[in-house]
Chain A
Amino acid sequence: MKNAGMDESPLIRLADVTKVYHLESGDFTALNHISLNISEGEFVALMGPSGSGKSTMMNQLGILDVPSTGEIFIAGKNVAKMTSLERTHMRRDIIGYVFQKFYLIPLLSAYENVEYPLILKYKKRDITGKAAAVLKSVGFDKEMSAHRPNQLSGGQQQRVAIARALVNDPKILLCDEPTGNLDRKTGFQIMDILTGLHKEGKTVILVTHDPKIAEYAHRTIELEDGRVVGS
């Protein structure tokens, strides 16, 4: 396995990570002894057929879950040894999530959705104008900011979701099929935004089925049956 970035401490390091789900039908190994490093500033595409462990991998990278065995280090910290609150704070401060289904908070306006992570972090409403600036940077019409998610198109929602992911200046951008629910043209627009962010220095990790989308990445990790088969 080759590591694109060979820094002494990669941003993300998986060491012999295994994730086993205990189902009624028996144990299911979603990740099988995976070791890999992702350095700061990489643009990585995670590919593989359904059930190959992509989602499980994203949950691990997103600190939404911990491995059954093995260790994951993110920004130098061992995820399994953190408290639940420390993990929550890490998700808030270091990682930005972009989901296939956008997952905006339905009760909040577009602007408030972007402002929300700032409030989580600073425990007060944003008076710096950062939320508005980030929305603008993803090409989101200011007049649309007052709309609720259900009043926006898919592409608009995904822009808001990217703005929300960016607003706390995360090191890592985790994108789970960000173009999966969009038409092709809008999908490429979103990919252009992600490429721009990568150029600004973000580490972008992208899950996709689509080889055309994966082409945007500089490195592709292929998963099959919970194992890395190509990297």
Chain B
Amino acid sequence: MKDIFFDLSVRSVRLNFLRSILASIGIVIGVVAISSMGMLGTNMQLSVKQQLSSNVNTVMISSDVVRTTSTAGNPITSQGIDKSTLNDIKNSAGQNVVIPIHNTRTQFTIGSTDGRGSIYGLDPNDITKFLTIAQGENIKGGSDALVGANIATNFNMNIGSRIKIGQDNISITRPTVRVAGILASRGFASDGVNTDNAIIVPDTWYTDHFGNKDLYDQVNVILQNIDTINQTEAAIDDKVNRKTEVVRISDASSRLSSISSTLGTITTFILAIGSISLVVAAVSIFNVMMMSVNERVQEIGILLSIGTEKGEVRRMFLYEAFILGIIGAGFGGICSLVIGYSVVSAMIGNTAYFFLPESIIYVPYGMIIGVIVCVLSGLYPAWRASNMDPIDALRNE
């Protein structure tokens, strides 16, 4: 059935074309704001998650628990994970790979250029278990070293380059390592081993020059099965932290979820900012609807006096608001795709996730919200129109 009230609304919108279009532009902006902001947030979350979730099967154990002394004074921090703790970890880790890690920050010199970065001491056999060598080969011992992707590029290093480790001091001859291989870029590593700006040396070389033999800064447990993460952590916790908190056990998944929830909060926040534009749009739709009602008082009087039901008059004006909403949401949806894509590509630099359902869903969301806002804004004007006194309305010139 073709509804005559819908017809009347269409004609009213057409008659006041410019005014209707201007009001709809408000909705267009609102829909674009909500959709683009939503997509931006989602794409941000997805791309950060992707970066973080590569090492999610790693349990990190560190000794940065503050132990308080029984006497008054400064609390002391433990120096590292000692050999017996490491053995406890190994015993409770079962079949999983346990990787003890030495780590500190140091100065170094390549040729005549000074730099500063992390230095990791690792058992050469452990390296290939979680790191990828892009060029050259793994270190075997002695004074071989691997360098991270950034450090290699920034200092123009090749296989065979030599690096002087430690602070430049005339009175001491600094030890030198030779670059045997260059690691693939890792980005922000969620297992705590950030190698892109680091030098990796054999653990024996590390303890020879930095000390701390049998005292590790971090121990990573790489799980064969991600589903066992909770029971493995519990087993280590039971064994190692039995009497006092000796180590802190964490994993990337908890970090991932906390980062995700932070990003979720940020997304909600920017969505809320986007919604403000819809509130503004609602006011302008309300205004246009009130104008439409006020201009058509006599017409409303005619409709009511010749037997139009109040509900039918109401429907006519709600249709009008709905049409404005549909126009606005339609254009808004199209603009959202274009603008959203531009914003995501400009701010995140990666549009790989743009067309995924969880991102693109914000376009229909924005459109639906836009239409709903329009219809809600039309409620009062429609109610007012339907409740006019037909005699007074007819008299209105």
A164 vs B306: C-alpha distance in the bound complex, in angstroms?
9
For B298, give the chain A residue with the smallest CB separation.
A103
CA distance A64 to B391 in the complex (A): 7
Instruction: Name B390's closest neighbour in chain A (CB-CB).
Output: A64
Closest to A85 in B: B309
What's the Cα separation between A62 and B394 when bound, in Å?
13
Complex contact A92–B12 (CB within 8 A): no
Interface residue? B4 (CB, 8 A): yes
Instruction: Return A21 CB to nearest CB of chain B, in Å.
Output: 11
Residues in B with CB closer than 8 Å to A89 are 307, 309
Chain B 315-344 per-residue mask, 1 if CB under 8 angstroms from chain A, else 0: 000000000000000000000000000000
Interface of A is mostly: helix
* Interfacial chain B residues near A115, Cβ < 8 Å: 4
Instruction: Give chain A nearest CB distance to B386 CB in angstroms.
Output: 11
State whether A97 and B305 are in contact (beta carbons under 8 Å apart), knowing that A64-B391, A106-B299, A125-B2 are contacts in the complex.
Answer: yes
Determine the distance from Cα of A84 to Cα of B310 in the docked complex, in whole angstroms: 9
Does chain B have a CB within 8 A of A29? Answer: no
- B329 → A minimal CB distance (Å): 24
Are A65 and B391 in contact, with the CB atoms below 8 A? yes
**B230: shortest Cβ distance to chain A, in Å?**
64
Q: CA A85 – CA B311 in complex, angstroms?
A: 10
Beyond A64-B391, A125-B4, whether A107 also contacts B309 by CB under 8 A is no
Tell me which residues across on chain B come within 8 A of A59, comparing CB atoms. Answer: 391
**Number of contact residues on A: which range applies?**
20 to 34
Residue A117 contacts which of B298, B299, B307, B309 (CB distance < 8 angstroms)?
A: B307
Task: Report if A91-B305 is in contact (Cβ < 8 Å); known contacts: A64-B391, A108-B8.
Answer: yes
Contact B305 A64 (CB under 8 A): yes
Q: If A64-B391, A91-B306, A92-B307 touch, does A120 touch B8 (CB 8 Å cutoff)?
A: no
Count residues on chain B whose CB falls below 8 Å from chain A CBs.
Answer: 23
B302 at the interface (CB under 8 A from A): yes
Chain A min CB distance to B315 (Å): 12
Question: In this assembly, does A88 line the interface, its C-beta being within 8 Å of a C-beta of chain B?
Answer: yes
Residues B278-330 near A (CB distance < 8 A): 298-299, 301-310, 312
**Is the beta-carbon distance between B307 and A103 smaller than 8 angstroms?**
no
User: Once the chains are docked, how many angstroms separate the CA of A103 from the CA of B397?
Assistant: 11
Q: Which residue of A lies closest to B14 (CB)?
A: A107
Segment 23-67 of A: residues with Cβ below 8 Å from B: 59, 62, 64-65
How near does chain A come to B304, taking the closest CB pair, in angstroms?
A: 8
In the complex, A124 has a CB within 8 A of chain B? yes
Give the Cβ gap from A122 to chain B, nearest Cβ, in Å: 10
With contact pairs A65-B391, A88-B310, A125-B4 given, residues A107 and B305 touching in the complex (Cβ less than 8 Å): no
Interface flags, B8-27, vs A, CB<8A=1, else 0: 10011001000000000000
**In the complex, what distance in Å separates the CA atom of A112 from the CA atom of B5?**
12
A92→B306 contact, CB < 8 A: yes
- Is B170 an interface position by the 8 A CB rule? no
| A-chain residues with CB within 8 Å of residue B310 when the two chains form the complex | 84-85, 88
Q: Tell me if A71 is interfacial: C-beta within 8 Å of chain B.
A: no
Label chain B's interface by main secondary structure. Answer: helix
Given known A59-B391, A105-B303, A106-B299, contact A88–B308 (CB-CB < 8 A):
yes
| Interface flag for B172 (CB, 8 Å) | no
A90 CA to B306 CA, complexed, in Å: 10
Q: How far is the CA of A22 from the CA of B224 in the complex (A)?
A: 89
Residue of A nearest to B4 (CB): A119
Tell whether, in the assembled complex, residue A107 and residue B11 are in contact, meaning their CB atoms are under 8 Å apart: yes
Contact A117/B2 with A107-B12, A107-B15, A107-B299 known, Cβ cut-off 8 Å? no
In this complex, the member of B299, B303, B305 whose beta carbon has the largest number of chain A beta carbons within 10 angstroms is: B305
Q: Looking across the interface, which residue of chain A has its beta carbon closest to that of B11?
A: A107
- Roughly how many angstroms separate A120 CA and B313 CA in the complex, as a whole number? 11
- Is the beta-carbon distance between B305 and A62 smaller than 8 angstroms? yes
The interface residues of chain A lying within 8 Å CB-to-CB of B15 are 107
CA distance A227 to B304 in the complex (A): 28
What residues of chain B lie closer than 8 Å to A164, measured between beta carbons?
306
Contacts of B8 in A (CB 8 A): 105, 107-108
Take A84-B310, A88-B307, A107-B299 as given contacts and tell me if A112 and B391 are in contact as well, using a CB distance cutoff of 8 Å: no
Q: What residues of A have a CB within 8 angstroms of the CB of B312 in the complex?
A: 120
Interface contacts beyond A92-B308, A112-B4: sample of 14 additional A-B pairs, CB < 8 Å, sorted by A: A64-B391, A84-B310, A88-B308, A89-B307, A90-B307, A91-B305, A92-B307, A105-B299, A105-B302, A107-B299, A116-B4, A117-B307, A119-B4, A125-B1
B interface, CB within 8 angstroms of A: 1-2, 4, 8, 11-12, 15, 298-299, 301-310, 312, 390-391, 394
Give 23 CB contacts A-B under 8 Å.
A64-B305, A85-B310, A88-B304, A88-B310, A89-B307, A89-B309, A91-B305, A91-B306, A92-B307, A97-B306, A103-B305, A103-B394, A105-B8, A105-B302, A106-B299, A108-B8, A112-B4, A115-B4, A117-B306, A119-B4, A123-B1, A124-B1, A164-B306
